[in-house]
Amino acid sequence: MKHGRYISLLLCACLLPALAGSAFAAHHLKDESGAGEVRKEAAQTLDALKHYGAQQRDEAVAAAKELLGKLDAKIDALQDRVDTRWEKLSESAKAETKQTLKELRKQRLEAAERLGSLKASSAGAWDEIKKGFSSSVDALSTAISRAAGEFDNR
């Protein structure tokens, strides 16, 4: 019994500083890309969108448009960062970055098309259309977050 207590104390003594250090780092390291912010904002809006019924279409569409505007701003900010550092990138990094931005724009277009469907959907199709929009925006926000993180690591 004593050995179990000592082992527990020893584990706590060893793990506590490591956990505290990682919590400190996570709290104090600056997320320059805003990648975490993108996912958080999208998740909050998409969660709210789940609760809108067909009779609240106007509010849902307004929230969806606002979210797409924020995602557009993140894509534009990433493009600006790319433009600023373009000359310093290797040829392979340039090719990868071009392809990534092309894919982001393609996903953004798909989300816009889903928004159009959301605006025009019937009450019977509302939930299904809403799920499709949410799925496309979730994929887009994930892609933006990933692209920003990858670019910052180049």
pLDDT in tens, 70-107: 999 999 999 999 999 999 999 999 999 999 999 999 99
Enumerate residues 6+ apart whose C-beta is below 8 A from 123. Answer: 54, 55
Alpha carbon 7 to its chain centroid, in Å, reads 41
- The residue ranges of DSSP E strands in 66-149, in sequence order, are none
**What would the pLDDT profile of 132-154 be if each residue is shown by its tens digit?**
999 999 999 999 999 999 888 87
Please indicate, yes or no, whether residues 12 and 82 belong to a single structural domain of this protein. no
Please indicate, yes or no, whether residues 49 and 103 belong to a single structural domain of this protein. yes
pTM for this prediction: 0.73
- Domain span at 6: 1-30
User: How many independent structural domains does the chain possess?
Assistant: 2
Please indicate, yes or no, whether residues 21 and 62 belong to a single structural domain of this protein. no
- CA-to-CA dists, residue 79 to 30, 107, 127, angstroms: 20, 15, 34
Please indicate, yes or no, whether residues 63 and 135 belong to a single structural domain of this protein. yes
Please indicate, yes or no, whether residues 26 and 72 belong to a single structural domain of this protein. no
